Amino acid sequence: MLCRNRSTGRYWASLPLALAACGASAANWEVAPRVQAGYRYNDNYHLEQPGGEVEVSGGEAEVGVTFRTVDPRTNFEITPRINATYFPDEKEEDSTDYYLNAGFSDITPRRRINVPFLYSQEDVVDSELPDTSDGGGLGEPDQGDSGRFLARNRRDFFRIAPSFGYDLSQRYRLELDAHYLQADFDNQLPGAQQDFSEFGAGAGFGFLTSQRSTLFVRALGFQYDTTSTTDAFGGEFEWNTQYSENSRAYIRLGAQQTSPEDGPSDTNIIAGAGGQWSTQRNTLFLDLTRSVGPVAAGTVVERYQFRLRVDHDVSQRFALRAGARLSRDEETQDGTYPTRKYAIGDLGFEWRWLRQWSLIGTYSYRWQEYADEPSDADASAFLIGIVYEPKRAQ
């Protein structure tokens, strides 16, 4: 049977649904719904300069459901999710945001295929001021946020990143990967929120330095479309190791030549180091990267970024969560975009009083500084809520 999806633009979200329909008859499916409702407060919702703060408080609800196949080799997972806020004293700040995460993988002893997909339609308060949970996977930092809020606006965003790995022999490996992302804003606001896209591809050759560790050399190519088009080519070395099924680490170093169509070329260092480790009661995610990519301000930047996430299960019923994200953006060319520094940290808990029901709470603190503004800006926020997961196993 041939399955087709002819929709484009914001309806890219229906692509994973079409793939799921193609394979539904050949797989066993597991369904895991999740419902969350609570109260949110933020004393500077737009992260404005002192004197321009907008304080919000009110209800927040989120509904999502995960569909996944149960198969030892081929897996497909898709999670549509809706988040809505209601602020009775600031109703113009209310928003309803839509998200879709999906992934396909097919793994054999010698071959690995992965196709992750992400779609979102959200208010720019969320897209331009990311949380600690945002940012991509290990060694794969997401970019695009500029931190600027000039007026109410919405962003449509999608990203697809297929990859292919093959063991040429017991010692040598081949990796091919590509990605495409696109962001479209309802209104174009120069210097703050403008459409952008990125296409990238890479080819890597690796050899095992031990039973669990591999050294890769990769060739890379990118094209960034913002207010102008920028091409980039480069290469990198990466060493990674797999401690267990859920624990791994990497170190990466390389460079790329970035060539805008309306300016001189520049050489940029790209690098990263980090890891994620999981035990029965603890999970640690740590990632430090230097990358290049487009942002919503209509330009291409070098981003230095640090991400940290710690989860600790105190008991079977009570868990503590903590996270941090720090970044520094510098424009690759001399232009109008000032250096930006951004940081967010959060601390939370989850108390599961029944298998299906839990109480959650999170406090977060944001800080931002632009080189062209007279002062920095900060915000404190908290969320308290109840979560219902009827299919939770434990």
Query: Would strands 111-123 and 56-69 be described as parallel, antiparallel, or unpaired?
Result: unpaired
pLDDT: which is higher, 70 or 394: 70
Residue 10 main-chain phi, psi, to 5 deg: -65, -15
Separation between Cα atoms, residue 273 and residue 159, nearest integer Å: 23
Mean per-residue pLDDT of the chain: 90
Separation between Cα atoms, residue 7 and residue 15, nearest integer Å: 8
Q: Residue 21 pLDDT more than 80? A: no
pLDDT in tens, 301-318: 999 999 999 999 999 999
DSSP letter (8 states) at residue 8: -
Q: What is the CA radius of gyration of the chain?
A: 22
Closest CA relative to residue 112, chosen from 175, 69, 26, 68: 175
At 27 the pLDDT is: 58
6 — pLDDT class (breaks 50, 70, 90):
very low
- Give CA separation, 282 vs 113, 276, 312, 353, in Å: 29, 11, 5, 20
pLDDT in tens, 86-130: 999 999 999 999 999 999 999 998 999 999 999 999 999 999 999
For tokens 């109008």, name the residue. Answer: 336
Separation between Cα atoms, residue 4 and residue 244, nearest integer Å: 38
Report the pLDDT averaged over residues 242-258: 93
Residue 313 main-chain phi, psi, to 5 deg: -85, 105
- Give CA separation, 16 vs 5, 104, 119, 178, in Å: 10, 9, 10, 18
Give the SS3 label for residue 255. Answer: strand
Q: Enter the pTM of the model.
A: 0.88
Domains and CATH numbers, the chain: 9-388 (2.40.160)
pLDDT in tens, 327-380: 999 998 887 789 999 999 999 999 999 999 999 999 999 999 999 889 999 999
Separation between Cα atoms, residue 173 and residue 94, nearest integer Å: 50
pLDDT in tens, 155-200: 999 999 999 999 999 999 999 999 999 999 999 999 889 999 999 9
CB neighbours of 361 closer than 8 A, spacing ≥ 6?
A: 348, 349, 382, 383, 384, 385
Torsion 233-237-242-247 (CA) sign: negative
Weakest-pLDDT range from 1-15, 253-267, 318-332, 345-359: 1-15
Q: Residue 136 pLDDT more than 90? A: no
Give the SS3 label for residue 393. Answer: coil
Separation between Cα atoms, residue 287 and residue 392, nearest integer Å: 30
